[in-house]
Each structure stands twice: as C-alpha cells, then as structure tokens.
Chain A
Amino acid sequence: MTAPLLAVDRLTIRFGGLVAVDQASFEVREGEVLSLIGPNGAGKTTAFNAITGYLAPSAGDIRFRGARLNGLKPNRVAELGLVRTFQKTSVFGGRSVLENILIGLHLRSEQRPLAIMLGLPSVAREERALETEARRILGFVGLGARALELGASLPYGEQRLLEIAVALAARPQLLLLDEPVSGMNPTETESFMAKLAEIRSLGITVLLVEHDMKMVMGVSDRIVCLNQGRVIANGTPAEIRRDPEVIRAYLGERYARAHG
C-alpha cells in the first residue's frame, strides 16, 4: 500500500464559535479522481481553502507526499504541485487569453529580474518557448482560436475552460477543482468529463468538489461525503449511492426511512 498523495488528518477549521470543518480525515491516492460531495455549507470549499493555504486550519494535519502543508502560503503550496481553481469563475479578465496562460506558466519560467533587466538573450529565448507551450495548452482545452481575445469577453463555458487551462499551465501533480461544471449545460458538462479523462491520462491526480451527481458518479474513483463539516461516508460511487448516511444528509430523514 503506497503512501497517499494527499493525507488530510483530523482537519478542523473554526471561525469564532462556528465549526466549519470538524475532524475531517481522508486521503487522495496518486492517479485517482476523488470527489468531495455534500450539501451546501458542508465545508467543502473551506477544506479546499485550508489545503491550498488560503485559510489556516485550527487543528489537524495536511500532508502532501509527507510534507506538511499547514500554514504555507498559497504560492508555496502551488510550488509543491497543488493547484486549485475557484468556485466563482476566476480568470484575468483584463488580459488576453494567451496572457492568462502565460501567467499560469509562472512557475515553469526561470527568468531572474537581473537577467530580465539586462536583456540577456536567454530571456527572449525562454519567452518564445513559453509562448509555444501556452499555445499548446490552449489547443488542449480547445481555446486556440481565442488566444488574443480578452479573458472577460469569453462566454461562460469557455471562461471555465480557460480557468482549467491556467491551472494546468502551473503543472500540478494534484489538481483541485472547485465546482468546475456549475452553471454548465449538459453538453458542456459531457465535454468537460471527457477533458477530465484526458487530464487523468496525463498522470494528474484530481480532487473535485462538485454538486452535479451525474458527473460525480461518472468520473470518480472514490467519493468522500461531508455534512456539517464532518466526513460521513467514504467509498466507491456504488457504495456511496447506497449509503444511508449520505441519503439522509442530502434528502432528509423521511426519505431515508421511506427507502431505507
């Protein structure tokens, strides 16, 4: 049994008197797609924020390949190989699509400020290489034709694709997607699921927060269900579908009793 890629151990996050995440423990194995589900307010995005350094955990341990993530700044977390997307569509609206990807390629670039200011040829060479790579990534998500348009001018579905592309540019080992298909129509969701399979085949592990059950059941290897900050179920899609706790959390006591 190999060590998990990401190990979340008794993660607790408190906001004053409110406990948003309560002793949550789960792990993400290398190469898998793990989905985090749960009713609204269950603490999913809060957990995401803690894992990626946007929030400080009140207690518990978060480890990536054994290295402790607690208290690291978001850019350090990204350097280690965890890249996240945001629940509300987040792109660099005022910049072109190509520039968005170039920004995403930040960690892949070696240019030092002094070399930049001196105008060394290595800088220009690297810029050309970065642009080639950026166009390749745009091609991968199907936004090649949009390279020079402003991020904000893209239709909603394409903005979400741009978001994924920017995250991919940062070459994640673990990609954390926060409700990537929210607001998408069924066709867009289908093509996203196909894209996700392609991302998987690149060797990227995926941790997903999502409400769309069809997608979750379709793409996940395993599912973790949160309710009121606590992990209430952890297993394969088939197991989760039948789990009484999950049913109770989503549909309420009466449904559970009626169909239990």
Chain B
Amino acid sequence: MKAALTAAWLALLVTLPLWMTNQYALHILIVTGIFIVAAMSLNLLLGYTGQLSLGHVAFFGIGAYASALVSLGFKVQLAPGVALALDPKPVWCGMLAAVVVAGAFGWLIGKLAFRVRGAYFVIVSISFAEVMRLVAVNWVELTQGPMALNNIPPLALWLPGVGEHAFWKKPENYWLTLGVAVVSYVLIRRLVRSRAGRAMVALRENEPLATSVGIDVTRYLVLTTVVSAAMAGAAGALYAHYIRIVDPDVFLFLYTVTMVIMVITGGKGTLAGPIVGGLIFGLLPETLRAAAIRPEVQWIVYGVLMILVLYFLPAGIVPAVRQWWERRRGAAAAAPA
C-alpha cells in the first residue's frame, strides 16, 4: 500500500512539467526544491544529531561559489608572485567541486563541534557563516564582491541521441532538482535507518550512555556534518547554475533561518518533516505575494507561525499529524461494530 502511494507520488512529481505549463509556477517549485534539499541536510544535523548548527547557509553558499568559480574559471594573487588560476571547467565538474569543498568545510566544523558545545557552538556556527559572507563581500578579486558572479553557465550533459544539451529551460532544471532531491532523500533515509543513524540519535538523547556502549562522539559528529554540508553544497550548486548569478547575499543568516523554520515546523528528526516544512515555506511566500502582502509582513507571519508551532506542536507538523492519525485509527478500531 505504502509502496503504491510512493510510486503514485513520484509519478505525479516526475510528469509535472508535462502538464503544468505555467513557467512561473515551475520556477517556484524549482527554488522550493532546492531549499528542500538544503532543509533535509540541515535536518540531519539539527534534527537527528541534535547539533544546533545555525550556520548552515555557509555550506550552501560555499557550494554555490565553488561551483560557479570552477565553471567560470578564476585567477587570484595569493601573495606577491604567487597566483592561483583555474580555467573554466564543465559544469558537472563544478558541481562535484561544490560537494567536495562544502564537505571539506563540514569536516572542519564537525571537528570543532566536538570541542565547543551547546550555546557556544550555536554562536560559532553563526560566526562562521558571517565570516564567509564578509569574505565573499571583501575578496573581490575572487568573488567579484557585491557585483556578483554573472553569466554562470547552466549544466550541460551529453545525452544519447541528442549530443551535448545545456539545461536552459525550466522543465529540465526541475527534473535535475527533483533528481537531486530524491537522491538526497534516499541517502538520508538509508543513513538514518542504520547503525549510523542510531548512533546519531543515541548521542542526541543520552551521550554518556551512548559512549558507554562504544559510540564515538567525534566520529559521528564529523560524519553527520560532512554529509550534511556536502548535501547543502549540492543545493548551492543547483542554485548557482539555475539562477546563474551568485552574490554574497547567498550567505545571509536569513536563509539559515528559512531552513530552520522549514525543519522545525515540518518536524525535526523526521524524514518527511523538512519536505512538508519546505513546501509550506517555499510556497507560502507566493500565496502571500499574490494577495499583495508586503515582504515585511510575510516575515512577521513566518516568525509568529514558527513561535506558534513551537508552543503548540513542539515536535512539528508531521509528528502531530501522525499522532492524530494514530488516534483516529485507534478510535475507529475501538468503536463498536
């Protein structure tokens, strides 16, 4: 039954561009999809491992810049007489670079997370993202600063029968995003339902007990941050080659907050949570915009919404719905025939 439902869902999602011809709606779905990938990656860190990382946008931005720079090529003077240059490489190379570079930074943060705990780690993670933003603004030679990296090429793949095909149109970007999202979901699902996932959750729930049965804290914190960062980097790369402009605003704390809101309201520590949260907070701005509501009011609504969810549905929407469903089923089973 469940498999059939999943198959139906997937069929719907895959065929969507064929029957939804509104290009603007497709655009919204693509951007939402990119954010959902980022939210899923944050959920791994925030939800499953319980690490309050509020600098997640840093990995997203690093991925975006890495992919853009590799596909555009760059040249910087590191020191007098020492230059670092790279010729433009194919976009898929850039995307790979995004995943690797973001993952590498994730490794660094993971190592740090073990030493610096609790509220201090929150502050460090925010500071890390801010430093990245300021570097992006100030290291103009590499990043063009606020003038942004422009004309980033779209992904180009060699397809059988067609030859080299560049992803200029929305439907193909939609499928690319959907593909990355599905792969990310599957990866996370496998991790979470395995020994690694149990170790993460054990560390979150009761660290002394977890270590007493042999779970290595550093190892799992690092594993989680690397996977989480690499995935966010992939989302950043998708963003870079779809929007095709990358500027330092990609590091704004506001985007971390967006991801956090998606994960928390959807349901942290659940597989469906970030997807539900992502859909709500990806699509909500559009409905509000259609009603001609100013962006400031939108954000006030999000802030208030998040607070309300935290008060009344502290585990998020997905667990609340699940509970309600269980209760209904239990009531139906107990009802006299």
Contact = CB atoms under 8 A, between A and B. Distances in A.
Q: Report if A and B associate in a common complex.
A: yes
Given A111-B194, A113-B196, A116-B191, A92 B212 contact: no
B86 interface: no
A86 B214 contact: no
Interface in B191-250: 191, 193-196, 198-199, 201-202, 205-206, 208-217, 223, 227
B187 interface: yes
Contacts of B223: 113
Interface in B270-296: none
Contacts of A73: 211, 216-217
Nearest to A107: B214
Contacts of B212: 52, 74, 78, 83-86, 167, 170
A103 B211 contact: no
Q: Which among A79, A104, A113 has the greatest number of chain B C-beta atoms within 10 A?
A: A113
B208 A103 contact: no
A90 B211 contact: no
A40 interface: no
Nearest to B213: A170
Contacts of A94: 205
B190 interface: yes
Interface in A162-217: 166-167, 169-170
A97 B137 CA distance: 52
Contacts of A102: 198
B14 interface: no
B186 interface: yes
A103 B216 contact: no
Nearest to B206: A92
A119 B190 contact: yes
A54 B199 contact: no
Interface string A230-260: 0000000000000000000000000000000
Contacts of B214: 75, 78-79, 106-107, 170
B209 A91 contact: yes
Contact of A117 (B191, B195, B198, B217): B191
Nearest to B210: A103
A53 B213 CA distance: 12
A93 interface: yes
Interface string A108-123: 0101010011010001
A14 interface: no
A106 B186 CA distance: 22
B316 to A, nearest CB: 14
Contacts of B191: 113, 116-117
B208 A90 contact: yes
A116 B195 contact: yes
A95 B205 contact: yes
Contact of A116 (B196, B208, B209, B213): B196
Contact of A103 (B190, B193, B202, B217): B202
A102 B199 CA distance: 10
Given A116-B194, A119-B190, A75 B211 contact: yes
A78 B213 contact: yes
A111 B220 CA distance: 13
B19 to A, nearest CB: 31
Nearest to B194: A116
A83 B213 contact: yes
B84 to A, nearest CB: 31
A181 B112 CA distance: 40
Contact of A123 (B187, B194, B216): B194
A166 B205 contact: no
Q: Which among B199, B212, B217 has the greatest number of chain A C-beta atoms within 10 A?
A: B212
A169 B209 CA distance: 13
A106 B199 contact: yes
Interface string A59-94: 000000000000001110011000111100011111
B222 to A, nearest CB: 10
B187 A117 contact: yes
A52 B208 CA distance: 11
Contact of A111 (B195, B209, B213): B195
Given A75-B216, A117-B190, A119-B186, A90 B199 contact: no
B190 A106 contact: no
B167 to A, nearest CB: 26
Q: Which among B193, B195, B196, B208 has the greatest number of chain A C-beta atoms within 10 A?
A: B195
A22 interface: no
A73 B205 CA distance: 19
Contact of A74 (B190, B208, B227): B208
A93 B206 CA distance: 9
Interface in B29-83: none
A1 to B, nearest CB: 31
28 contacts: A53-B211, A73-B216, A74-B208, A74-B212, A75-B211, A75-B215, A78-B211, A83-B212, A86-B208, A86-B209, A90-B209, A92-B202, A92-B206, A94-B205, A95-B201, A95-B205, A99-B198, A102-B198, A103-B210, A103-B215, A104-B213, A106-B214, A109-B195, A113-B196, A116-B196, A119-B190, A127-B193, A169-B213
Given A102-B198, A119-B190, 14 more contacts: A75-B214, A86-B208, A91-B209, A93-B206, A95-B201, A103-B202, A104-B213, A111-B196, A113-B191, A116-B196, A117-B227, A127-B194, A169-B213, A170-B213
Interface of B: 186-187, 190-191, 193-196, 198-199, 201-202, 205-206, 208-217, 223, 227
